[in-house]
């Protein structure tokens, strides 16, 4: 008599992905590609990156992050932080290109 196993069914693992089974992040990326808001997802990723990179008080001064025509647009409330970003524009652009791909961004605007 064969002993039942909780990990297998018909000698295949139960955890095996079906063809139509996707992770939620894959679905979100797929919908973003179809409906044309991929840039907004990357902008959210940039904002998350800045939240980890900057001090919390500095991050709170960032009002928004958007991407238009391969240009990252960061709106900052604090004049001091805005000036710091403008002075280190190439540094931040390079950081974003390294993290998200050089082909995604050509410029960085600080408003």
Predicted confidence at residue 31, as pLDDT, reads 73
Taking only Cα atoms into account, the Rg of the chain, rounded to an integer number of angstroms, comes to 21
How far is the first Cα of the chain from the last one, in angstroms, to the nearest whole number? 73
Grouped pLDDT means (10 residues each) for the chain, 111 residues: 51 54 71 77 92 93 94 96 96 93 92 95
Structure tokens at 63: 């009002």
Q: How many domains does the chain have?
A: 1
Q: How far is CA 90 from CA 5, 56, 83, 109, in A?
A: 58, 23, 13, 11
**Does 27 map to a domain?**
yes
**Does 35 map to a domain?**
yes
Q: Which residues, in sequence order, are CB contacts of 42 under 8 Å at separation 6+?
A: 67, 100, 104
**Does 49 map to a domain?**
yes
Predicted confidence at residue 2, as pLDDT, reads 52
For residue 99, the enclosing domain spans 23-110
The pTM of the full predicted model, rounded to 2 decimals, is 0.71
The CATH number of whichever domain residue 85 belongs to comes to 3.30.70
**Does 15 map to a domain?**
no
**Does 7 map to a domain?**
no
């Amino acid at each position: 008599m064969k002993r039942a196993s909780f990990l297998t069914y018909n000698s295949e693992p139960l955890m095996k992905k079906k063809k139509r089974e996707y992770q939620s992040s894959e679905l979100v990326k797929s919908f973003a590609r179809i409906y044309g808001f991929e840039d907004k997802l990357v902008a959210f990723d940039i904002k998350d990156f800045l939240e980890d990179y900057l001090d919390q008080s500095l991050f709170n001064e960032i009002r928004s992050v958007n991407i238009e025509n391969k240009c990252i647009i960061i709106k900052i409330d604090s004049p001091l932080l805005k000036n710091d970003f403008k002075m280190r524009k190439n540094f931040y652009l390079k950081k974003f290109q390294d993290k998200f791909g050089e082909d995604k961004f050509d410029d960085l605007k600080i408003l």
